[in-house]
Amino acid sequence: MAALAWLLIPLVAAVGAGLWGSWAGRNRKTAGDGVELAGYTRFREAMERTEVRAEAKEKSHSDVH
């Protein structure tokens, strides 16, 4: 009977691993990349505006000196 218990432990672990693997590999319903790409576009535009402002400040400071 003890040998049967020792055989059941890896069997239960294998079944658990199989269940977890099927759960982890499932197809998830995602919104797609559109939301992420739109966020990246907004970030890039904001950084470009900041860069333009910094260049304008540098030009105005260099004209004074």
What would the pLDDT profile of 13-64 be if each residue is shown by its tens digit?
Answer: 999 999 999 999 988 776 677 888 899 999 999 998 877 777 777 777 665 5
Task: Count CA atoms within 13 Å of residue 5 on its CB side.
Answer: 2
For the entire predicted model, the pTM comes to 0.42
* Residue 34 Ramachandran class (φ > 0 left, ψ -120 to 50 alpha, else beta): alpha
Q: Could you tell me how far CA 25 lies from the centroid of its own chain?
A: 16
pLDDT of residue 7 exceeding 90: yes
Which pLDDT score, from 0 to 100, does residue 64 have? 55
State how far the Cα of 44 lies from the Cα of 37, in Å rounded to an integer. 10
Torsion of CA 38, 39, 41, 45, to 10 degrees: 140
State how far the Cα of 51 lies from the Cα of 1, in Å rounded to an integer. 75
